[in-house]
Protein backbone atom coordinates (compact mmCIF):
# COMPACT_ATOMS: atom_id res chain seq x y z
CA UNK A 1 0.00 0.00 0.00
CA UNK A 2 2.85 2.35 0.85
CA UNK A 3 5.36 1.10 -1.73
CA UNK A 4 5.20 4.35 -3.72
CA UNK A 5 5.30 6.59 -0.65
CA UNK A 6 8.64 8.33 -0.17
CA UNK A 7 9.66 10.81 2.52
CA UNK A 8 12.54 13.24 2.06
CA UNK A 9 13.95 16.07 4.12
CA UNK A 10 16.14 19.10 3.79
CA UNK A 11 18.48 20.26 6.54
CA UNK A 12 16.04 22.32 8.59
CA UNK A 13 14.82 19.65 11.02
CA UNK A 14 16.48 16.32 10.26
CA UNK A 15 15.79 14.81 13.68
CA UNK A 16 12.03 15.41 13.32
CA UNK A 17 12.04 13.96 9.79
CA UNK A 18 13.81 10.83 11.02
CA UNK A 19 11.25 10.46 13.79
CA UNK A 20 8.37 10.89 11.33
CA UNK A 21 9.84 8.25 9.01
CA UNK A 22 10.21 5.87 11.96
CA UNK A 23 6.55 6.31 12.97
CA UNK A 24 5.50 5.88 9.34
CA UNK A 25 7.57 2.71 9.04
CA UNK A 26 9.26 4.04 5.91
CA UNK A 27 13.00 4.71 5.49
CA UNK A 28 13.92 8.34 4.93
CA UNK A 29 14.59 8.99 1.24
CA UNK A 30 18.15 9.33 -0.03
CA UNK A 31 18.86 12.91 -1.05
CA UNK A 32 21.88 15.20 -0.99
CA UNK A 33 21.14 18.75 0.11
CA UNK A 34 24.11 21.03 0.70
CA UNK A 35 25.72 24.34 -0.16
CA UNK A 36 28.66 24.92 -2.48
CA UNK A 37 31.43 27.24 -1.30
CA UNK A 38 29.80 30.02 -3.36
CA UNK A 39 26.66 29.76 -1.15
CA UNK A 40 24.56 28.12 -3.88
CA UNK A 41 22.26 25.33 -2.67
CA UNK A 42 22.51 21.97 -4.44
CA UNK A 43 20.02 19.10 -4.34
CA UNK A 44 20.29 15.60 -5.79
CA UNK A 45 17.71 12.85 -5.32
CA UNK A 46 19.66 9.59 -5.14
CA UNK A 47 16.81 7.17 -5.76
CA UNK A 48 14.07 6.55 -8.29
CA UNK A 49 10.96 8.64 -7.61
CA UNK A 50 9.21 8.25 -10.97
CA UNK A 51 5.49 7.90 -10.28
CA UNK A 52 6.01 8.16 -6.51
CA UNK A 53 3.91 10.02 -3.93
CA UNK A 54 6.65 12.14 -2.34
CA UNK A 55 6.69 14.16 0.89
CA UNK A 56 9.30 16.76 1.79
CA UNK A 57 9.54 17.54 5.51
CA UNK A 58 11.05 21.00 5.84
CA UNK A 59 10.51 23.60 8.55
CA UNK A 60 11.08 27.07 7.14
CA UNK A 61 12.62 28.22 10.41
CA UNK A 62 16.01 29.88 11.05
CA UNK A 63 17.82 30.32 8.73
CA UNK A 64 14.46 30.95 7.07
CA UNK A 65 15.64 31.95 3.59
CA UNK A 66 18.13 29.07 3.32
CA UNK A 67 15.53 26.51 4.39
CA UNK A 68 12.91 27.97 2.06
CA UNK A 69 15.35 27.85 -0.85
CA UNK A 70 16.21 24.23 -0.05
CA UNK A 71 12.50 23.38 -0.14
CA UNK A 72 11.94 25.12 -3.48
CA UNK A 73 14.93 23.39 -5.08
CA UNK A 74 13.88 20.00 -3.71
CA UNK A 75 10.42 20.49 -5.21
CA UNK A 76 11.99 21.29 -8.58
CA UNK A 77 14.31 18.27 -8.36
CA UNK A 78 11.41 15.91 -7.62
CA UNK A 79 9.26 17.42 -10.36
CA UNK A 80 12.02 16.99 -12.94
CA UNK A 81 12.52 13.41 -11.70
CA UNK A 82 8.86 12.68 -12.60
CA UNK A 83 7.45 12.26 -9.10
CA UNK A 84 3.70 11.76 -9.40
CA UNK A 85 2.84 14.04 -6.47
CA UNK A 86 4.95 16.43 -4.41
CA UNK A 87 3.65 17.18 -0.92
CA UNK A 88 5.38 19.78 1.26
CA UNK A 89 5.14 19.06 4.99
CA UNK A 90 5.99 22.39 6.62
CA UNK A 91 5.89 22.12 10.45
CA UNK A 92 6.47 25.88 10.79
CA UNK A 93 5.64 28.22 7.92
CA UNK A 94 8.17 31.05 7.68
CA UNK A 95 6.84 34.57 7.05
CA UNK A 96 3.42 33.47 8.35
CA UNK A 97 3.02 36.66 10.38
CA UNK A 98 3.32 38.75 7.19
CA UNK A 99 -0.18 37.68 6.20
CA UNK A 100 -1.85 41.06 5.64
CA UNK A 101 -1.12 44.60 4.50
CA UNK A 102 -1.51 46.36 7.83
CA UNK A 103 0.75 49.32 7.03
CA UNK A 104 1.33 51.41 3.89
CA UNK A 105 3.85 50.03 1.39
CA UNK A 106 4.49 46.66 3.05
CA UNK A 107 4.39 43.24 1.36
CA UNK A 108 2.18 40.24 2.09
CA UNK A 109 5.13 37.89 2.22
CA UNK A 110 3.14 34.82 3.23
CA UNK A 111 1.26 35.10 -0.07
CA UNK A 112 4.54 35.50 -1.97
CA UNK A 113 5.90 32.31 -0.36
CA UNK A 114 2.68 30.49 -1.29
CA UNK A 115 3.16 31.59 -4.91
CA UNK A 116 6.79 30.44 -4.89
CA UNK A 117 5.91 26.98 -3.59
CA UNK A 118 3.09 26.55 -6.09
CA UNK A 119 5.16 27.77 -9.03
CA UNK A 120 8.03 25.47 -8.05
CA UNK A 121 5.68 22.50 -8.47
CA UNK A 122 4.20 21.62 -5.08
CA UNK A 123 0.91 19.70 -5.31
CA UNK A 124 -0.12 19.91 -1.65
CA UNK A 125 0.87 21.71 1.54
CA UNK A 126 0.68 20.09 4.97
CA UNK A 127 1.12 22.85 7.56
CA UNK A 128 1.09 22.97 11.35
CA UNK A 129 -0.57 25.71 13.38
CA UNK A 130 -0.52 28.50 10.82
CA UNK A 131 -0.47 31.98 12.33
CA UNK A 132 -3.82 32.68 10.68
CA UNK A 133 -6.33 30.48 8.88
CA UNK A 134 -6.45 32.88 5.92
CA UNK A 135 -3.00 31.67 4.80
CA UNK A 136 -4.70 28.52 3.49
CA UNK A 137 -6.47 30.74 0.97
CA UNK A 138 -3.15 32.05 -0.37
CA UNK A 139 -2.62 28.70 -2.10
CA UNK A 140 -4.34 27.45 -5.23
CA UNK A 141 -3.45 23.89 -4.25
CA UNK A 142 -4.84 21.77 -1.37
CA UNK A 143 -3.70 22.70 2.15
CA UNK A 144 -4.07 20.32 5.10
CA UNK A 145 -3.87 22.46 8.23
CA UNK A 146 -2.92 20.33 11.23
CA UNK A 147 -3.09 21.47 14.85
CA UNK A 148 -0.92 20.55 17.82
CA UNK A 149 -3.71 21.33 20.30
CA UNK A 150 -4.67 17.64 20.83
CA UNK A 151 -1.05 16.96 21.81
CA UNK A 152 -1.15 19.72 24.42
CA UNK A 153 -4.56 18.58 25.68
CA UNK A 154 -3.33 15.02 26.24
CA UNK A 155 -0.16 16.20 27.97
CA UNK A 156 -1.88 18.74 30.23
CA UNK A 157 -4.61 16.29 31.21
CA UNK A 158 -2.04 13.66 32.18
CA UNK A 159 0.64 15.86 33.78
CA UNK A 160 -0.81 19.10 35.16
CA UNK A 161 -3.11 19.82 38.07
CA UNK A 162 -5.89 21.65 36.26
CA UNK A 163 -7.95 22.41 39.35
CA UNK A 164 -8.49 26.20 39.50
CA UNK A 165 -6.70 26.63 36.15
CA UNK A 166 -7.58 29.15 33.44
CA UNK A 167 -6.44 29.40 29.82
CA UNK A 168 -5.16 32.83 28.84
CA UNK A 169 -4.82 34.30 25.36
CA UNK A 170 -1.92 36.80 25.29
CA UNK A 171 -3.93 39.08 22.97
CA UNK A 172 -7.34 39.41 21.37
CA UNK A 173 -6.05 37.96 18.08
CA UNK A 174 -5.47 34.57 19.69
CA UNK A 175 -8.81 34.40 21.49
CA UNK A 176 -10.33 31.70 19.26
CA UNK A 177 -7.24 29.51 19.71
CA UNK A 178 -7.25 29.87 23.50
CA UNK A 179 -11.03 29.43 23.71
CA UNK A 180 -10.76 26.11 21.84
CA UNK A 181 -8.15 24.83 24.33
CA UNK A 182 -10.22 26.05 27.28
CA UNK A 183 -13.26 24.22 25.92
CA UNK A 184 -11.34 20.96 25.52
CA UNK A 185 -9.93 21.19 29.04
CA UNK A 186 -13.25 22.45 30.46
CA UNK A 187 -11.55 25.56 31.86
CA UNK A 188 -12.32 29.25 31.98
CA UNK A 189 -10.81 31.83 29.63
CA UNK A 190 -9.00 35.13 30.14
CA UNK A 191 -7.71 37.52 27.49
CA UNK A 192 -4.79 39.93 27.48
CA UNK A 193 -5.32 43.31 25.88
CA UNK A 194 -1.98 44.54 24.54
CA UNK A 195 -0.71 47.06 22.05
CA UNK A 196 2.35 46.43 19.89
CA UNK A 197 4.72 49.36 19.54
CA UNK A 198 6.53 49.76 16.20
CA UNK A 199 7.85 46.93 14.03
CA UNK A 200 10.00 45.29 16.69
CA UNK A 201 8.94 42.82 19.33
CA UNK A 202 7.83 45.37 21.88
CA UNK A 203 4.36 45.56 23.33
CA UNK A 204 2.56 47.19 26.23
CA UNK A 205 0.18 45.16 28.35
CA UNK A 206 -2.94 47.22 28.89
CA UNK A 207 -5.38 44.96 30.71
CA UNK A 208 -6.43 41.39 31.48
CA UNK A 209 -10.04 40.52 30.80
CA UNK A 210 -11.25 37.68 33.00
CA UNK A 211 -10.67 36.27 36.48
CA UNK A 212 -7.14 34.98 37.15
CA UNK A 213 -6.88 35.71 40.88
CA UNK A 214 -5.74 32.62 42.78
CA UNK A 215 -5.67 30.54 39.61
CA UNK A 216 -3.08 28.62 37.61
CA UNK A 217 -2.79 30.45 34.29
CA UNK A 218 -1.93 28.62 31.07
CA UNK A 219 -0.81 31.13 28.45
CA UNK A 220 -1.58 29.70 25.02
CA UNK A 221 -0.24 31.08 21.73
CA UNK A 222 0.88 29.81 18.33
CA UNK A 223 4.48 31.05 18.48
CA UNK A 224 7.07 32.33 20.92
CA UNK A 225 9.80 34.36 19.25
CA UNK A 226 11.86 36.56 21.59
CA UNK A 227 9.33 35.88 24.32
CA UNK A 228 9.05 39.53 25.30
CA UNK A 229 5.27 39.75 25.00
CA UNK A 230 4.62 36.39 26.65
CA UNK A 231 6.88 37.17 29.61
CA UNK A 232 5.27 40.60 30.10
CA UNK A 233 1.89 38.93 30.11
CA UNK A 234 3.14 36.41 32.70
CA UNK A 235 4.24 39.30 34.92
CA UNK A 236 0.84 40.96 34.48
CA UNK A 237 -0.92 37.73 35.45
CA UNK A 238 1.11 37.44 38.66
CA UNK A 239 0.34 41.08 39.41
CA UNK A 240 -3.37 40.28 38.97
CA UNK A 241 -3.13 37.47 41.53
CA UNK A 242 -2.40 34.35 39.47
CA UNK A 243 -0.63 31.82 41.72
CA UNK A 244 1.24 30.03 38.92
CA UNK A 245 1.89 30.62 35.22
CA UNK A 246 2.59 28.08 32.49
CA UNK A 247 2.98 28.87 28.78
CA UNK A 248 2.33 26.70 25.74
CA UNK A 249 3.19 27.57 22.14
CA UNK A 250 3.15 25.39 19.06
CA UNK A 251 6.32 26.91 17.62
CA UNK A 252 9.32 27.63 19.83
CA UNK A 253 11.38 29.97 17.65
CA UNK A 254 13.15 31.38 20.73
CA UNK A 255 15.22 34.00 18.93
CA UNK A 256 17.29 36.84 20.35
CA UNK A 257 17.11 37.08 24.14
CA UNK A 258 14.28 34.55 24.43
CA UNK A 259 16.05 32.18 26.84
CA UNK A 260 17.12 35.02 29.13
CA UNK A 261 13.61 36.49 29.01
CA UNK A 262 12.14 33.10 29.89
CA UNK A 263 14.61 32.43 32.71
CA UNK A 264 13.87 35.84 34.26
CA UNK A 265 10.10 35.49 33.97
CA UNK A 266 7.59 33.92 36.39
CA UNK A 267 6.73 31.28 33.76
CA UNK A 268 7.33 27.92 35.45
CA UNK A 269 7.31 25.78 32.30
CA UNK A 270 7.16 26.55 28.58
CA UNK A 271 5.59 23.74 26.54
CA UNK A 272 6.49 23.77 22.83
CA UNK A 273 6.53 21.26 19.99
CA UNK A 274 9.57 20.16 18.00
CA UNK A 275 8.44 21.97 14.85
CA UNK A 276 11.61 24.04 15.31
CA UNK A 277 14.85 22.28 16.29
CA UNK A 278 16.46 23.61 19.47
CA UNK A 279 20.18 24.12 19.89
CA UNK A 280 21.99 22.33 22.73
CA UNK A 281 22.26 25.66 24.55
CA UNK A 282 18.49 26.21 24.44
CA UNK A 283 17.82 22.63 25.50
CA UNK A 284 19.72 23.35 28.73
CA UNK A 285 16.90 25.65 29.85
CA UNK A 286 15.03 23.60 32.45
CA UNK A 287 11.84 25.55 31.91
CA UNK A 288 11.40 24.18 28.36
CA UNK A 289 9.38 21.00 27.76
CA UNK A 290 9.32 19.87 24.12
CA UNK A 291 6.47 17.68 22.83
CA UNK A 292 6.83 15.73 19.61
CA UNK A 293 4.57 16.15 16.58
CA UNK A 294 6.23 13.27 14.70
CA UNK A 295 3.44 10.74 15.20
CA UNK A 296 0.82 13.30 14.14
CA UNK A 297 2.73 14.12 10.94
CA UNK A 298 3.38 10.46 10.15
CA UNK A 299 -0.32 9.63 10.56
CA UNK A 300 -1.31 12.57 8.36
CA UNK A 301 1.15 11.54 5.64
CA UNK A 302 -0.15 7.97 5.55
CA UNK A 303 -3.79 9.09 5.52
CA UNK A 304 -3.16 11.55 2.69
CA UNK A 305 -1.30 8.87 0.75
CA UNK A 306 -4.25 6.46 0.87
CA UNK A 307 -6.75 9.29 0.30
CA UNK A 308 -8.33 9.14 3.75
CA UNK A 309 -9.69 12.11 5.70
CA UNK A 310 -7.30 13.75 8.16
CA UNK A 311 -10.05 15.51 10.15
CA UNK A 312 -10.00 12.74 12.76
CA UNK A 313 -6.56 14.04 13.80
CA UNK A 314 -8.16 17.21 15.15
CA UNK A 315 -10.25 15.35 17.74
Active site residues: 194
| Cβ atoms of residues 52 and 26 within 8 Å | no
- DSSP output for 281-303: HHHT-TTEEEE--HHHHHHHHHH
CB 94 within 8 A of CB 106: no
Rg, C-alpha atoms of the chain: 20
Alpha helices by DSSP H, listed for the chain, are 14-24, 64-80, 109-120, 149-159, 175-185, 228-239, 258-263, 280-283, 294-305
Distance CA 20, CA 58 (A): 12
The C-alpha atoms of residue 43 and residue 49 are separated, in whole angstroms, by 14
CA atoms of 273 and 221, how far apart (whole Å): 12
* Nearest C-alpha neighbor of 219 from the set 242, 183, 245: 245
From the list 210, 213, 211, 253, the residue with the least C-alpha distance to 230 is: 253
| Element holding 45 (H helix, E strand) | strand 41-45
- 207 CB burial (10 A radius; 0-12, 13-18, 19+): exposed
Amino acid sequence: MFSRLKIFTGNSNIELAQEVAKYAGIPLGDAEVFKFSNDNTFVKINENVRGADTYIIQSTCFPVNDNLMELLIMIDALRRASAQRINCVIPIFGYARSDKKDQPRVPITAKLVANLLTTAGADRIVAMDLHSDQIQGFFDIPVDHLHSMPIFVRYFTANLNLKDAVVVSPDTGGTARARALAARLNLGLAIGDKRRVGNVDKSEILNIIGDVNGKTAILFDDIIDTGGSLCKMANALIAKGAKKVYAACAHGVLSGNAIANLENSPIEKLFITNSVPLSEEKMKCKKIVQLSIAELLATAIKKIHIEESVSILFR
